Structure 1
Amino acid sequence: MTSETITAHASGTWTLGDLPVRRVGLGAMRLTGSAAFHLGTPGDRERSLTVLRRAVGLGVNHIDTAAFYFSSLRSANELINSALAPYPDDLVIAAKVGPFRDWSGAWGTSARPEDLRGHVEENLRQLGRDHLDVVYLRRMRQGSVAEHFGALAELRRAGLIRHLGLSAVEPRHLAEAQAIAPVVCVQNRYGLGFHDPATDELLGLCRDQGIAFVPFYAIAGEAGPQRAAADHDAGVRAVARAHGASPAQVRIAWTLHQGPHVLAVPGTGDPAHLTENVAAGALRLTGEDLARLG
């Protein structure tokens, strides 16, 4: 497939609450460097700015970020602000709160409900915005999300947040949050070769309730936050050859084939990889392909 001429429009659209987004978006974590967070070499600033501007030029209007996405020299939110402000009217920026890191990059303990306003305001400051389109509560092993989600619901009523989502949750947490305020998206780890029964159940619940499912590390495989998958099984490689595509494109296409409510936000700091990732939205897998992929 010829990636250069394909835009994010080829992936179709989904509506987050009242915000239409293309189903292939961009994850911002890898803009900050060669590995996750403060590890590895800081990314080249101009190249990261190019990725963001090219993404918008290719029709991407959904960016996933967080204030805790930073390396020793780079902040994802600052890069987004520098590259894209004043923001296009249709651009949807989703941020996560819950985890946090201090100035040295060290992780803090899980945020208390009363801390979340500060987390939201920090994202607003870094992005240069007066409200956040979508905020995910990232669960940090707590048994209940009610207090934390309730704190975000208050900020939604105050106008600082437009829509709410959940991350790293189980089906019971979705029900708990839905009783407090509407949930428009759920973000769990999920991808070809990596999913579990609870997340499979969530995928179906989101479909039935009209909630977007936005998996992370969908093309990373077992490498997780460190890098994109380098090892692909024979099925992935065979399907890639059949379509003249890359294994990463096959993984993104498989993710999108899990339902019209499933969105992809592959992260990259490489303009060429961005173009390839966006083009994966045009890859249509056959029944035979899906069977081969298992």
Structure 2
Amino acid sequence: MVQCKYCDEEFDSEEEMYLHWDEEHSDEINSHDEDKVKKAKREKEEEKAARMQWRKKMMIRGVGGLVLVAVLYVSAPAIASLFSTGTSVDFSELNLENQPMLGEEDANVTIVEFGDFMCGACRSFNQDTKPSFMEHIENGDAKMYYIDFPLPNFRPDNIQAATAAECVYRQDNDQYWEFHDALFAQQGQLDYSNSGLIDFADQNTEGINSTELDACMQSEDALNSVQDDRGLGQNNGVSATPTVFVDGDMITQRGNLDSIIEESINE
């Protein structure tokens, strides 16, 4: 709480107090306080304009988008990070040629997910959200990359899982996605030791050489790749998982993912 120095009334924030000064004490404030009032009024107008823009876009996208966002928010609050800040990124900085890819390489729309194999919201994204736009990947209009972003609170299991996935990818991109989906499906129920993950890979992939996988997981190179991926995320505004970019734009609450992908395809 903050207290007005002119009348002792209390407010929840300084911005509210400055707006109060404009309404009730405009003839009393000094030039320094007047600057604060102007800034608060400007920020209020910017917030109002942003809300109006959001409402306009949501009306265009339709009620379906509103329902989807509401369901995602209520059923899995952590997945709200998926619709984050509107940050843009240059995909050339993300080393995509060395990341697992789902779809056709010449697809027009590029989707990039930063995720954590121990993140519950990422599991929800993989099992509940991804199927809604898989049609665009399967018909060749879009492609998707997955980049590891292991969060500190899930270590060491998420590092182990990401390293194992990186090593599977180095042998076979298609089998990587089988392993990727299996890791999310069995999240938290596995033995995340090297031997446990090798056995899990053997059960959920075809043609992966266990000896090569073991050697890769014990090497520092694979671990360094996972840590480098996290660094890519940090350098491009990623702070939570899942964070998703479509054609360089971080997805925001202003629309649902499937409709944004469809709009990008139709551009």
Q: Output the TM-score relative to the length of structure 1.
A: 0.27
> Higher relative CO (CA 8 A, sep ≥ 6), structure 1 or 2?
2
Which structure has more strand as a fraction of its residues? 1
Which has the larger Rg? 2
Q: Output the TM-score relative to the length of structure 2.
A: 0.28
